[in-house]
Amino acid sequence: MIMFRFIKNGLTSGEECRYATEEDSCSIVIEMLNYGIPLKYFQSKQLTYFTN
């Protein structure tokens, strides 16, 4: 969860984030939303993710 805190802090400061993972994309999005990262960051493309 440390990485999600790092991501959330950057997003709230106006930074963009690119997140790469081998995990299922749906589960990562759900985990981020459950952590408290607002959906607006995904919708605005300020937060994007990539999976293998």
Tokens of 4: 């999600």
pLDDT of amino acid 36: 96
Structural domain count, the chain: 1
How far lies 7's CA from each of 22, 33, 34, in Å? 17, 12, 14
Q: Which two tokens stand for residue 34?
A: 């459950």
pLDDT at 1: 80
pLDDT value, residue 52? 79
What CA–CA distance (Å, rounded) separates 23 from 30?
Answer: 12
Q: What is the pLDDT of residue 25?
A: 85
Q: Domain range holding 29?
A: 2-7+16-51
How many Å apart are CA 38 and CA 52, to the nearest integer?
A: 24
Note the pLDDT tens digit of each residue in 14-43. Answer: 999 999 999 888 999 999 999 999 999 999
Q: How far apart are CA 4 and CA 52, in angstroms?
A: 20
Grouping H, G, I as helix, E, B as strand and the rest as coil, residue 47 is strand
